[in-house]
Amino acid sequence: MTMISAGVVPGRRVASYCGVGLALMLAVTLAVVAWFGPGRVFTGLLAGFVLGAAALAALYKRDGVVLTDDAIELRTPLAHEVLSWDRVVGARFALDERARWSLALDLSGGDEPHGELVLVSIPPVRGPVSSAYELDMRERIEAIREFLRRKRVPVTVLPEIAGALSEHWKIAPPTR
């Protein structure tokens, strides 16, 4: 069974996850200082930082979209929803409202905002892969593209996006 992780974490959830991490760091720091005395502030900060970072990582890992052969899973730390592939009308790689390139599934029915599910959002590609982030995004886009091709989901790509991905990242445009 094929599984691909995708999805974009909205800014509000990012802020709330950071708030949880900071609150946990503060609570652990205060607990260590209260238990062992003011001489252990650094120890408390270190322990709080480690636990806060672990909580932040766990929240991010739980948040996202998982594409499987059977369904599309929407996950957040507090909820889990499964969508059928029958609801997918198509996919598009276009500019979003923040001038980033986003690969999104167009959905029919349901209560998703605007009937779309964003899988990847990246800054415009202007050159060859030059960082680990870009390499990860290139591999993710390639995997999603191949998965959608196998599922026979039609993908629309703006010509300038297709050209840049083909030229700089060596990702061939979708074929019909």
- Tell me the pLDDT band of 171, cut-offs 50, 70 and 90: confident
Position 110 scores a pLDDT of 61
Residue numbers of the domain that contains 138: 85-168
Judge whether 30 lies within some domain.
no
Higher pLDDT, 7 or 138: 138
pLDDT band at 24 (very low <50, low <70, confident <90, very high): very high
With 80 as the cut, is the pLDDT of residue 173 above it? no
The answer to the question of residue 144 being in a domain is: yes
- Has residue 122 been placed in a domain? yes
**Bridge partners of residue 118, in order along the sequence:** 104
Report pLDDT for 6: 84
Establish if 117 belongs to a structural domain. yes
Q: What is the pLDDT of residues 128-161, one digit of tens each?
A: 998 999 999 999 999 999 999 999 999 999 888 8
Residues 29-48: tens digit of each pLDDT: 999 999 999 999 999 999 99
Within a domain: 111:
yes
Residue 49 lies in a domain: no
Distance in angstroms (rounded) separating the CA atoms of residues 42 and 56: 21
Residue 112 has pLDDT above 60, yes or no: no
Rounded-to-integer distance, Cα 129 and Cα 170, Å: 10
With respect to residue 156, please indicate whether it lies within any of the assigned structural domains.
yes
Read off φ and ψ for residue 48, nearest 5 degrees: -65, -40
Q: Residue 30: in which H helix or E strand, if any?
A: helix 11-36
Q: Does the residue 127 lie in any domain? A: yes
Output the CA–CA distances (angstroms, integers) from residue 155 to 31, 51, 94, 103, 174, in the order listed.
53, 42, 11, 9, 7
Count structural domains, the chain: 1
Average pLDDT of 88-109?
88
